[in-house]
Amino acid sequence: MTNEKLKNIKKVELHLHLDGSITKEYVKNKYKLSNEEISNKMVASEKCKNLNDYLECFDFPISIMQTEQELKEITINLLNNLKSQNVIYAEIRFAPQFHTKKGLTQEDVLKAVLSAKDCVDIKSNFILCVMRGKDNMDENYETVNLAKKYLGKGVCAIDLAGAEAIFKTSEYHEIFEYAKKLDVPFTIHAGEADGPKSIKDSISYGAKRIGHGVRAIEDDILLQEIIKEGIYLEVCPTSNIQTCICDTYSTHPIEKLYRMGVKTTINTDNMTVSNTTLENEYEKLLEETNLEIEDIINMNINSINAAFISNQEKEKLMEEIKK
């Protein structure tokens, strides 16, 4: 498969963090940093100690995403980047509570990000992250309320993100009960730094999509439930290798999960922190596993079916994929 053919594939990205995907070019031009400085601040090593080590690369991006202008510029920059990769639909996630250090409210942050949507001709929606952590539940509830207010107006769901092994998924039952009462859809980071129990908890809350979820491979009963219930996994291979879930693309569980009938999707997680693109993810999987181009296309179809959009919107995206 040539790079040109991979580039021309119509792509869907469901698991993409805004703060982890600020392009190096934007930072270089805006803040006059050298390539080495940018790499040191924003790109994780190929093998981190763990997820927490990986998450340290978000400190600098978050520090510069504190004004309406920067938030809008960074979002436009990412949308243009996605369009150049032939992405036809993207769900981009971020935590509004992380961008209020200079006086913006969570709603100010969201409005700034949403103002970028009409500046680039690409279909996109935003997922608002509630965060694992200490003493931030008020902020998390504010985020859920904000998601409800802007649902269908550029926001499509909420997510739970952060240090999964330290702040267990089981601690966040009430926030998802609240989201369900408000009819706010959700996905949950689970089965990455923490094991199958995290995924089980997420499914028990009603999650139909799991961020990462690859450690389901450790539990046969859980796998059968995921297959039976049609749960979608937002798989991010390069990121998983960096955070030591697996050693290589060839040993990554995505192929086994896919062959078993799990509805897998391929995503980048953080294009800059993980130094990757969707094309790169496809290329690595095609080179180092037995997956073929038809499997990659099938997983893009899975992504469309998993998307937090209407059936009519899904049908239009399916037509583009089939072209």
Point out which residues pair with 4 in neighbouring strands.
none
* Amino acid, res. 53: D
**What's the CATH fold of domain 10-322?**
TIM Barrel (3.20.20)
Q: Which of 192, 234, 255, 283 is catalytic?
A: 192
pLDDT in tens, 43-95: 877 777 777 777 788 889 999 999 999 999 999 999 999 999 999 999 999 99
Q: How many CB atoms lie within 10 A of CB 286?
A: 17
> Secondary structure of 104-170 in the HEC alphabet?
CCHHHHHHHHHCCHHHCCCEEEEEEEEECCCCCHHHHHHHHHHHHHCECCCEEEEEEECCCCCCCHH
Q: Is 192 a catalytic residue?
A: yes
Q: Determine the Cα–Cα distance for residues 273 and 44; give it in Å rounded to an integer.
A: 5
What tokens appear for 305 in the block?
């079916």
* Amino acid, res. 120: V
Q: At what angle do helices 24-31 and 68-84 cross, to 10 degrees?
A: 140
Output the tens digit of pLDDT for each of the chain's 323 residues: 457 788 889 999 999 999 999 998 999 888 888 888 888 888 877 777 777 777 788 889 999 999 999 999 999 999 999 999 999 999 999 999 999 999 999 999 999 999 999 999 999 999 999 999 999 999 999 999 999 999 999 999 999 999 888 999 999 999 999 999 999 999 999 999 899 999 999 999 999 999 999 999 999 999 999 999 999 999 999 999 998 889 999 999 999 999 999 999 999 999 999 999 999 999 999 999 999 999 999 999 999 999 999 999 999 999 999 87
Query: Could you tell me the pTM of the whole model?
Result: 0.95
